[in-house]
Structure 1
Amino acid sequence: MSKYQKVIDWLNKCIDEESLKPGDKIPSENVLCEQFGLSRQTIRHAISKLSEDGLLESRRGSGTYVSDQHAEDGNKSVVAVVTTYVDDYIFPSTIRGIESTLSAKGYSMQLSFTNNTTGREQEILTDLLERDDVAGVIMEPVKSALPNPNMELYRKLQDKGMKILFLNSFYPELPFPHVSINDEECAYRAVKALVEAGHKSIGCVLKLDDGQGRERYRGYLRAMNECGLSFTYDHVNWIDTIDIKDGKRALSRVKERLSGCTAVFCYNDLVAGMLMQMLIDSGMKLPRDMSVIGMDDSDMAKIGIGGITISSIPHPKARLGEKAAQNMIRLIHSTGNFTNATYEFAENVILRGSVTAVK
């Protein structure tokens, strides 16, 4: 990390946590030099970057203040928010977090859903290209692990000057920032928790068509390699959006491929719950015969399957929405390249009844 980035991160945190509010004067250059042990030139560079991002404004002869970043008078006060679904257990809280943060700054939210299809995504993007009242788009990608036919529409929106921020995942072909869980790190922590419970043969069930599945697979591999555990692709199971809709029937072959495993990391709590029910129906005793861990810490994880609560990693639903909205507002007000718009949450494992220690 560059020296000035430490100052930027600290000031960003103060603004996010509202210990520095709009209109507040930030500490003087002398105070910041002493606080961070840095030169005046480095401090000025950090302040200049945050001013380009629209977070700070300098007043001649007075000092530097936190900008208000309120929606400007005019016709560009709409932020389009596009998610895949609305009935998922994550999205209502995330959308509320986005809406409350946007409205506090005078922006209105227009909500649309793609139903996780590229056809509907194309319709929405085409409509946005024809509008002049939209300042930015917070977009959840559609099946982000697969090639997508709508890349050119995104580039046209960028050429039009519209700010774009991805939610929950991202398209690797595009240079836009994203706000999401750090899927690789969270998966790594989940698998490490299983290793610390004594498990050595660990499988996984991951989602093939979403970028989150790709990143969670990276975390699974990193944990297995770091812990010196043998890895076989026979224990890796891939499912897609249609499989999840089909329910536990789609997991019929997973039990066979997990043969020899004592634990399994699942893409999310829904998949973990379906797998647990399928294993229980087949006569297995959980967690004695198989420990299971998911992600999202949904209501299902807390209620459990067959009386067994599910170990999981929380999804920062509302906080993720608030952060996405904050960073979108900063993108809108940035006069340069807002380099800190990407943010990833790293959450810790909550162990429950679905994981048991082995000797």
Structure 2
Amino acid sequence: MNIGKEPKYKQLMDFIIEYIKNGDLKHNDKIFSENELMEKFNISRHTVRTAINRLVNEGWLYKQQGKGTFVSDPSAHLKNKGKLIGVVITYLKDYIFPDIITGIEEVLSEENYSILLGSTNNKIEKERMVLTNLLNNNLAGLIIEPTKSVFPNPNKDIYQKFIDRGIPIIYIHGHYNNISASYIEEDDNLAGFMATEHLVELGHKNIGGIFKSDDIQGHGRYEGFINCLRKHDLPISEKGTMWFSTEDIGTFYKDESYSKIIIERLRDCTAVVCYNDQIALRILEIFDKAGINVPENYSVIGFDNSKIAESAKLTTIAHPKSALGSKAAKSLIKIINNQNLVIKEKMRPTLIVRESSKKIK
């Protein structure tokens, strides 16, 4: 292997491909071990693994767990066009997600990539099914919004299969703490701080909060919320701070007795920070039915700057949406071209002030 301008992993790839083309390695033959390749070419284990994973992804090789790496069918690499990207998010058709997909699709189409869409409905087993199905396709990469991301990832074994095949992964919106991976997400901690700071600047001293318990975004926004209150030496209302999970959504929207509980828990507050615009809109509905005037008696702020925030004239923290999708797609392409690259970026949110927040009298 000649030491030239090409990365060492690419030179190793070329060496193995040439071996296969010359017939020195045939279909189902086991290739050299990692230690043999490291010693033969004086390269690191990481370099060897990068080369092997890319050859697996391109169809030249395949892996059998516990047995090793073998030569694929000679035509397998021809079937792998390397131009298909898996895109998996929690919900496809509503809220901010169409804008995110548009941002991803615009970038990938310019680079001649196609996308294969999937949704998990924020369900662990649905995520497992979607990822398993995607493994049957010749993916060049995966963009995914994690499911119930605040918990340890229960599908780590499936993600490992993507890694073993050399398929790079980039997370959007959040990431699992028990997996080291690239991600592009909004700075939710800063978003929570900005939302709370806006209410503090309007004179509110007793501020409630409603956050999502099973997604890392909810925890980030809560952390920003309490950081702001501590900065201004304001109390954290434990009674007025509420949590809900994916499975609680139906109760939150349909159970009128739950609405009464919300009003009671927020009674001592004058403002509330809501996990997203959908929750904020539901709070506006609950207040309206109870005769509580917004913003005269109460200020409400959401997150994401969705279309419902515009129509409801809701003060909110704007999510990057299509810009986040675009950046995720561009980052994934960079990683496809250089699998040693790790990208971790948090995008800055923006405050959008509308009519649901007002200076307290």
In which range does the TM-score fall when normalised by the shorter chain?
0.7 to 0.9
Q: Which moved more, 1:148-157 or 1:322-331?
A: 148-157
Aligned-pair CA distance for 1:110: 0.8
Does 2:89 align with 1:89? no
Deviation sequence 1:19-77 (CA, Å, 0-9, x none):
xxxxxxxxxxxxxxxxxxxxxxxxxxxxxxxxxxxxxxxxxxxxxxxxxxxxx996211
Unaligned residue ranges in structure 1 (runs of 5+): 1-71
Q: Please say which structure displays the higher CA radius of gyration.
A: 2
Is the alpha carbon distance of 1:251 and 1:211 closer, same or farther for their aligned partners in structure 2, counting shifts above 3 Å?
farther
Counterparts in 2 of 1:82 and 1:287: CA distance versus 1, 3 Å: same
The question of whether the paired residues in 2 share the 8 Å contact of 1:244 and 1:271 is answered with: no
Would the aligned equivalents of 1:313 and 1:348 in 2 still touch at CA under 8 Å?
A: yes
- SS of equivalent to 2:128: helix
Gaps of at least 5 residues in structure 2 are 1-77
Tell me what 1:347 maps to: 349
Answer yes or no: is the 8 Å Cα contact 1:76–1:135 preserved in 2.
yes
Aligned equivalent of 1:334: 338
Aligned in 2, Cα 1:251/1:76: closer, same or farther, shift over 3 Å? farther
After the TM superposition, which residues 118-197 of structure 1 pair with which residues of structure 2 at under 5 Å, given as runs?
Answer: 118-131=124-137, 133-197=138-202
The corresponding residue for 1:318 is: 322
Residue equivalent to 2:209: 204
Aligned-partner residue type, residue 147 of structure 2: V
Over aligned residues, Cα RMSD in angstroms? Answer: 1.9
Say which is worse superposed, 142-151 or 326-335, in terms of deviation.
Answer: 142-151
Within a 5 Å distance, the mapping from 1:7-156 to structure 2 comes to 75-131=81-137, 133-156=138-161
Q: Distance between the aligned counterparts of 1:210 and 1:153, measured in 2?
A: 20
Any idea what the Cα deviations from partners look like across 1:174-230, whole Å, max 9, x if unmatched?
111111111110110010000000111111011111111011111101111111111
Instruction: State the partner residue of 1:226.
Output: 231
- With structure 2 as the length reference, what TM-score do the two structures score? 0.74
Correspondence for 1:37: none
The answer as to 2:212 corresponding to 1:213 is no
Secondary structure of the residue aligned to 1:313 is strand
1:278 aligns with 2:283: no
How many pairs does the alignment contain? Answer: 282
Paired position in structure 2 for 1:298:
306
Q: Secondary structure at the match of 1:312?
A: strand
Instruction: Report the alpha carbon displacement of residue 78 of structure 1 after superposing the two structures with TM.
Output: 0.9
Instruction: Report the AA paired with residue 96 of structure 1.
Output: T
Task: Give, in whole Å, the separation in 2 of the partners of 1:240 and 1:265.
Answer: 16
Question: 2: distance between equivalents of 1:302 and 1:112?
Answer: 28
Q: Confirm or deny: 8 A CA contact 2:212 2:243 kept in the other structure.
A: yes
CA distance in 2, matches of 1:299, 1:126: 33
Shift of 1:93: 1.2
Deviation at 1:153, TM superposition (A): 1.4
* Residue 130 of structure 1: how far off its partner (Å): 4.0
Q: Deviations over 1:85-135 (max 9, x none)?
A: 11222111111111110111121111111122111211122233344x211
Q: Is the 8 A contact 1:205 1:266 kept in 2?
A: yes
* Corresponding position of 1:260: 268
